């Protein structure tokens, strides 16, 4: 280690609890931390990023604590779920060994519940929202020994009170540097992915064309911050004030082509909350990749109205440049609920978007939510019915129905509390919030009426078997499931689901290669659904 440079230690918490037998897809790079590291790296600091997803939590925390010896400061991040508890555990260990070391936290969960983070007494400040410039100034302040009160965008604890510094405006890419990829050792991510995927791997990147059953190397990337949509279930409007700032296509192309050359990646997942706000940018990216002769498979999160409105030439260019899968924020199949969410988008647009992608052979993962505050049973059913219609139109879309989860700082949070949602009182409690697709638990009694809960379970079972995303071929059970979803024929569904579960378990026991074949059939969230069913007590058949 360079003796002269001051060291900053950043910890990227584990996405999943290793005791649950699950792990995160290893294409998930610690991009949030790489991004905030950019300015300090440019200004001569040594930045060490330790990713908890690459080892056991204990090993990762030990390494962080060691790296903090003589460091200038420590920082961590996290979104709702296990990252919250793992980040907390790591910081406790760091502070037990280095009580004087300045410690900071940022990211989505800290941004919506800064007080809960500061109440632990572990942190000197919480960074709200976009972090690159705030972190740059924060590092300079710690290094110079000046007051954090002069740094905008922080929450501090002063004399038993929580104090917010001046608000920090969301800045554009001209003030942001490209991620310092050189400080990341990519080999553990590549090696883990090429070693094959375990059955407990969640949030995985769906297999690109030609890779069903074969390992591939993917990375995550982000090219914009924030989201202009007002969605009342999402943290983004509160955290990014509906601002959307994006990297230009030209700059993105330079960076992506360099990464492609350097790392030889097979696939890339854009983690932008709303990738397609500017059609011009997406088209320039797609055409640029083709012109520059860089082909890798790519995946992005998009809004259905963008996909539904784009010119055909843009969608064609997206496909031709390697886009193979889109995660669509479809939200609901009910017009009233769509307007309660705040989105200016008719539910039919969802179906149009899925069709336009499928016509070009592009897969989609459509994410729906039911059980919003005050949502009627009929509205929830309309959502499940839209999913069933989509499944009958194309096997290239997996429409997933998740139960609503109240998140602090969102438009729907106060009403969720009124309706009986009891928030966990501690950080560790928030850390236990499972992924949407891994839970059947309703946040408050009666949120999902029994008829809806039952229909969702049955739909999810058959839809998971019926889709073609990432599959080499659809066999007997898949075809049968397709027919059932298409015709909404759920007769004897529980019995059949149990028979399937038993046969599947026997096949996996008898054929040692069966788990891999099973994984080859599944991809993305489908595998997460499956992993969830494999968890003790979760049950595979609709209960």
**Which residues contact ligand B12 by CB under 6 A?**
15, 28, 31-32, 35-36, 75, 77, 79-83, 104-109, 112, 127, 130-132, 134-135, 203, 222, 225, 227, 234-236, 271, 273, 301, 407, 435-436
Min. distance of Cβ 132 from ligand B12 in angstroms?
5
Q: Which is nearer to ligand B12, 243 or 521 (CB)?
A: 243
Comparison of 114 and 322: residue with beta carbon closer to ligand B12: 114
CB of 505 to ligand B12, least distance (A): 26
Q: Residue 376, class by beta-carbon neighbours within 10 Å (0-12 exposed, 13-18 middle, 19+ buried)?
A: middle
Structure tokens at 301: 């999160």
As a whole number of angstroms, the distance between CA 83 and CA 340 comes to 30
Per-residue H/E/C for 121-134: CCCCEEECCCCHHH
Q: Residue 105 or residue 467: which is nearer to ligand B12 going by CB?
A: 105
Nearest to 128 by CA among 94, 164, 159: 164
Give the side-chain half-sphere CA count within 13 A for 543: 7
Nearer to ligand B12, 75 or 470 (CB): 75
Looking at the Cβ atoms of 322 and 329, the one nearer to ligand B12 is 329
Identity of the residue, 334 or 434, whose beta carbon is nearer to ligand B12 in the bound complex? 434
Q: How far is the CB of 359 from ligand B12 (least distance, A)?
A: 26
**Residue nearer to ligand B12 on the CB measure, 84 or 353:** 84
What is the nearest approach in angstroms of ligand B12 to the Cβ of residue 259? 15
Q: In the bound complex, what is the minimum distance in angstroms from residue 277's beta carbon to ligand B12?
A: 12
Contacts of residue 19, Cβ cutoff 8 Å, sequence gap at least 6: none
Residue among 222 and 462 whose Cβ is closer to ligand B12: 222
Neighbours of 275 (CB within 10 A): 25
Least separation in angstroms between CB 224 and ligand B12? 9
DSSP secondary structure code for residue 447 in this structure: S
Single out the residue of 510, 507, 515 nearest to residue 531, CA to CA: 515
CA atoms within a 13 Å half-sphere pointing along the CA-CB vector of 309: 12
Nearest residue (CB) to ligand B12, 134 versus 165 = 134
Task: Mention every residue, 6+ apart, whose C-beta is less than 8 A from residue 479.
Answer: none
Number of DSSP helices (H) and strands (E) in the chain, helices first = 22, 17
Evaluate whether 385 touches 333 at the Cβ level (below 8 Å): yes
Q: Which is nearer to ligand B12, 382 or 405 (CB)?
A: 405
Cβ at position 281, least distance to ligand B12 in Å: 17
Say how many CA atoms lie within 13 Å of 536 toward its Cβ.
Answer: 3
Residue 398 · residue 524 · CB < 8 Å:
yes
DSSP bridge pairs for 302: 328
- Of 9, 534, 524, give the one whose Cα is nearest residue 267: 524
Cβ distance to ligand B12 smaller for residue 35 or 193: 35
Count Cβ neighbours within 10 Å for each residue of 472-486 and write b for 16 or more, e otherwise.
eebeebbebbbebbe
- Cα dihedral 109/112/116/122 (nearest 10): 60
Rounded CA separation 312/291 (Å): 19
Ramachandran angles phi, psi of 398, nearest 5°: -105, 110
CB of 438 to ligand B12, least distance (A): 7
CB of 503 to ligand B12, least distance (A): 29
CB of 81 to ligand B12, least distance (A): 3
Q: Which residue has the tokens 């949602």?
A: 421
Q: Could you tell me the CA-to-CA distances from 210 to 1, 214, 363, 513 in Å, in that order? A: 42, 8, 14, 20
The distance of closest approach from Cβ of residue 163 to ligand B12 in the complex, given in angstroms and rounded to an integer, is 17
- Residue closer to ligand B12 by CB (options 81, 371) is 81
Q: How far is the CB of 471 from ligand B12 (least distance, A)?
A: 21
**Would you give the DSSP letter of residue 56?**
-
Report the residue number, 80 or 317, with the smaller CB distance to ligand B12: 80
Rounded Cα distance between 450 and 184, Å, is 48
* Minimum CB–partner distance for residue 351 and ligand B12 (Å): 22
Strand order in the sheet with 323-331: 218-221, 267-270, 297-302, 323-331, 363-370, 397-403
Closest contact distance (angstroms) between CB of 273 and ligand B12 is 3
Which of 271, 500 has the CB closer to ligand B12?
Answer: 271
Identify the CA nearest to 189 among candidates 295, 53, 56, 382: 53
* Residue 345 near residue 295 (C-beta atoms within 8 A): no
């Amino acid at each position: 280690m360079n003796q002269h440079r001051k060291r900053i230690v950043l910890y990227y918490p584990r996405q999943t609890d290793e005791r649950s037998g699950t792990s995160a897809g290893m294409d998930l790079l610690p991009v949030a931390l790489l991004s905030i590291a950019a300015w300090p790296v440019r200004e001569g600091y040594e930045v060490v990023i330790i990713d908890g997803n690459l080892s056991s939590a204990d090993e990762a925390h030990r390494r962080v604590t060691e790296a903090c010896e003589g460091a200038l400061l420590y920082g961590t991040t996290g979104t709702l779920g296990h990252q919250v508890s793992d980040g907390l555990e790591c910081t406790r260990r760091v502070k037990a060994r280095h009580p004087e070391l300045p410690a900071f936290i940022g990211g989505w969960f800290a941004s919506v519940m800064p007080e809960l983070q500061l109440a632990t007494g572990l942190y000197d400040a919480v960074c709200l929202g976009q972090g690159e410039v705030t972190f740059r100034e924060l590092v300079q302040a710690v290094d110079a020994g000046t007051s954090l009160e002069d740094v905008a965008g922080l929450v501090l604890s002063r004399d038993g009170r929580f104090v917010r510094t001046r608000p920090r405006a969301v800045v554009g890419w001209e003030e942001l540097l490209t991620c310092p990829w050189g400080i990341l050792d990519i080999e553990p991510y590549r090696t883990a992915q090429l070693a094959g995927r375990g059955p407990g791997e969640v949030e995985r990147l769906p297999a690109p064309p030609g890779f069903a059953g074969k390992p591939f190397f993917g990375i995550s990337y982000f090219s914009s911050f924030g989201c202009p949509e007002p969605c009342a279930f999402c943290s983004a409007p509160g955290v990014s004030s509906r601002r959307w700032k994006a990297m230009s296509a030209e700059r993105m192309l330079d960076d992506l082509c360099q990464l492609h050359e350097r790392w030889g990646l097979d696939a890339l997942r854009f983690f932008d909350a709303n990738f397609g706000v500017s059609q011009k940018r997406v088209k320039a990216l797609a055409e640029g990749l083709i012109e520059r002769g860089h082909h890798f498979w790519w995946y992005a999160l998009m809004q259905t109205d963008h996909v539904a409105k784009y010119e055909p030439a843009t969608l064609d260019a997206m496909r031709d440049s390697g886009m193979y899968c889109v995660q669509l924020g479809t939200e609901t199949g009910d017009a009233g609920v769509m307007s309660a969410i705040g989105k200016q988008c008719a539910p039919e647009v969802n179906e149009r978007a899925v069709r336009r992608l499928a016509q070009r052979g592009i897969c989609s993962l459509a994410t729906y939510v039911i059980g919003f505050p005050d949502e009627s049973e009929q509205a929830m059913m309309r959502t499940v019915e839209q999913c069933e219609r989509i499944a009958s139109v194309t096997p290239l879309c997996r429409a997933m129905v998740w139960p609503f989860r109240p998140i602090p700082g969102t438009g729907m949070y106060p009403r969720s509390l009124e309706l009986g949602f009891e928030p966990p009182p501690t950080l560790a409690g928030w850390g236990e919030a499972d992924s949407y697709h891994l839970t059947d638990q309703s946040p408050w009694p009666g949120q999902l009426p029994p008829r809806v809960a039952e229909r969702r379970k049955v739909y999810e079972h058959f839809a998971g078997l019926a889709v073609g995303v990432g599959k080499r071929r659809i066999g007997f059970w898949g075809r049968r499931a397709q027919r059932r979803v298409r015709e909404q024929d759920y007769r004897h569904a529980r019995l059949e689901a149990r028979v399937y579960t038993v046969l599947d378990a026997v096949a996996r026991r008898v054929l040692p290669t069966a788990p891999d074949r099973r994984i080859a059939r599944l991809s993305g969230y489908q595998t997460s659904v499956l992993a969830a069913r494999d968890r003790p007590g979760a049950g595979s058949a609709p209960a």
